[in-house]
Amino acid sequence: MGPELDRTRPYCRLEPALAVLLVVLKLLVLRGTWGRAQGFDAPHWLAVLRATHWFEPLPLPRALIASYHPPLSYLMGRLALVAVPNEVEASQLLSTLCILGAFLSLRRSLRHIGWLATLPGLILLYGGFSIPLLVWLAIETGYDGPVFFWFMLALAQSIALFWQPAPDRWWRVAKYSFALTLLGLTLAAGMLTKFNSLIAFGLPFLIVLVRRGIKTWRRDIAASSFAIVVSVIVVTPLYSHRYLSADGHREPAAMDWQRPLDLAAARAARDAVPIRLLTNVLRIPSRSITESQYPVVDSFFNSIWLHTWKRDGCLGLQPEPSLSVSNFYIVVFPFLLVSGTAWFMLRQRRIAEDWRHLGWVLLWVGVVFCASAIAFAWNYPLWDWRVFKGKYITPVVFWVAYATGIAFSDSLLEKWQRAGWKKWVERAVLLVLVAFMLANHGLPVY
């Protein structure tokens, strides 16, 4: 289903109005928090920003707590400083622009597959970008806004390139080869921002496997591999010189040198009873998540779910009525997530093919990000360091939005239409969606 089919969808006039509304809301949030540093790593990111300059030697990986990260987010911050001379304001401007870029990337993806101007598409796009975690990420001082942007841009490029099979002799098609090169540069930009951008390298292969299995694997995989090679060529000099040669680690973390004794003790305790760490990480604590703003830091589900919907108490107390709204989401959305996921798994044949395939892509993206977070905690089990943060696995929120909207697929709407309810159900859903957007951008979760 190509972009030309999107014009036949029922909300082609409403969708641009929602796009304008979302952009305005993001800018209003930026204005309301202007100049106030937000984020777990804000002081450390700002310290590295001050030490990083274009065309000058970079600070050594262990010179500052956050200087081990690749330098691109700091260099992007330097560009933002040209427009806004205040460091905190420049960081917030950068994060907002990155979130808007990610929004336009997903919007482009939905348009490409023909589902932008549909009820499920609107819920995924505008509901997803109104989830409190993404509202907050747009004004955070840190590197996770740029990381999220590069990932969503790579997803959009991968969908554009591989939703349909690669053309025969694609290397002779100048436009297609150029697009593959741009994908390689996007993947490289992610790796020059943060190490976990390595996950994005699997996007082209994931889309090929979801869409066609291995039917055209030689041509598609060869084209995907070309983009990977471009990325590796770009990032290899930095990684080889800055990390392998100078530091001796391919992907260092501040815990390695900030707390080596504590880390060694934690790893020894982990190795003594490995299954205990995994069961502890994957447990759902008895303490209600609505009763506190402080997550149970060694519980993956507790930490991530809290960060998705409300503010971590270490960043400051969340005021009312925002806190009550967040707690309402925390209670209601597990039902929507579980029921939507079950609907997706059990009713595959009733879901339109393109929408089903996008669902598998988003689901596997979520699974891989969650697995990577648990793997990181396995390697660095220092819970007071808060190794589980929602912002590290931001793309997972789109499975929440997808699962919420799956109940409004075409097959179910057809039943409502026969019963004479379709128009009223659609209007009610759209009103709830707009209210969700307004509430989450208007109430100070951040």
Q: What is the mean pLDDT of residues 408-427?
A: 67
| CB-CB contact of 2 with 354 (8 Å) | no
Of the pLDDT bands very low, low, confident and very high (cuts 50, 70, 90), residue 418 is: low
How far is 153 from 224, CA to CA, in rounded Å?
A: 15
Lowest mean pLDDT among 5-19, 99-113, 148-162: 5-19
Q: What is the pLDDT of residue 348?
A: 85
- Closest by CA position to 365, among listed 326, 401, 318, 340: 401
Task: Find tokens 């205040």 and name the residue.
Answer: 86
pLDDT at 250 over 80: no
Task: Find tokens 């960060």 and name the residue.
Answer: 307
* pLDDT more than 70, % of the chain: 93
How far is 160 from 106, CA to CA, in rounded Å?
A: 11
pLDDT tens digits for range 273-285: 999 999 999 999 9
How far is 105 from 107, CA to CA, in rounded Å?
A: 5
Element containing residue 105 per DSSP (H, E): helix 87-113
Q: What is the mean pLDDT of residues 36-64?
A: 93
Phi, psi values for residue 236, rounded to 5°: -60, -45
What is the radius of gyration, based on Cα positions, of the chain? 22
Q: What is the pLDDT of residue 218?
A: 80
Angle of CA points 45, 48, 50, to nearest 5° = 110
pLDDT at 4 over 80: no
pLDDT at 34 over 70: yes
| CB-CB contact of 412 with 293 (8 Å) | no
How far is 96 from 65, CA to CA, in rounded Å?
A: 24
Q: What is the mean pLDDT of residues 120-131?
A: 96
Q: What is the pLDDT of residue 408?
A: 76
pLDDT tens digits for range 334-353: 999 999 999 999 988 888 89
Q: What is the mean pLDDT of residues 3-10?
A: 50
* pLDDT more than 90, % of the chain: 79
The mean of the pLDDT values for the chain is 91
Q: What is the mean pLDDT of residues 377-381?
A: 95
Angle of CA points 307, 341, 201, to nearest 5° = 65
pLDDT at 8 over 60: no
How far is 236 from 258, CA to CA, in rounded Å?
A: 26
At 364, list the tokens: 């596997």
pLDDT tens digits for range 305-331: 999 999 999 998 999 999 999 999 999
How far is 149 from 158, CA to CA, in rounded Å?
A: 14
How far is 267 from 379, CA to CA, in rounded Å?
A: 7
Of the pLDDT bands very low, low, confident and very high (cuts 50, 70, 90), residue 6 is: very low
pLDDT at 148 over 90: yes
Q: Quote the crossing angle between the two packed helices 217-238 and 144-162, to the nearest 10°.
A: 150
Angle of CA points 424, 134, 445, to nearest 5° = 90
CB count, 10 Å around CB of 316?
13
- Closest by CA position to 106, among listed 83, 70, 131: 131
Phi, psi values for residue 419, rounded to 5°: -85, -5
DSSP-based three-state secondary structure for 352:
coil
DSSP-based three-state secondary structure for 208:
helix
Q: What is the pLDDT of residue 198?
A: 96
How far is 201 from 365, CA to CA, in rounded Å?
A: 11
At 157, list the tokens: 């490029």
- Sequence-distant contacts of 260-269: CB under 8 A, at least 24 apart: 262/382, 263/380, 263/382, 266/380, 266/381, 266/382, 267/381, 269/381
Of the pLDDT bands very low, low, confident and very high (cuts 50, 70, 90), residue 413 is: low
Q: What is the pLDDT of residue 133?
A: 97
Q: What is the pLDDT of residue 1?
A: 42
At 389, list the tokens: 């943060």
- Closest by CA position to 399, among listed 345, 436, 318, 319: 345
- Sequence-distant contacts of 29-35: CB under 8 A, at least 24 apart: 29/96, 29/135, 29/138, 29/139, 29/441, 29/446, 30/92, 30/93, 30/96, 30/138, 30/139, 32/444, 33/92, 33/139, 33/446, 34/89, 34/92, 35/86, 35/88, 35/89, 35/92
- Closest by CA position to 109, among listed 391, 396, 361: 361
How far is 152 from 109, CA to CA, in rounded Å?
A: 9
Q: What is the mean pLDDT of residues 410-414?
A: 59
Q: What is the pLDDT of residue 424?
A: 80
Region for residue 168 given its phi and psi (left: phi exceeds 0; alpha: psi -120 to 50; beta: otherwise): beta
Q: What is the mean pLDDT of residues 42-65?
A: 94
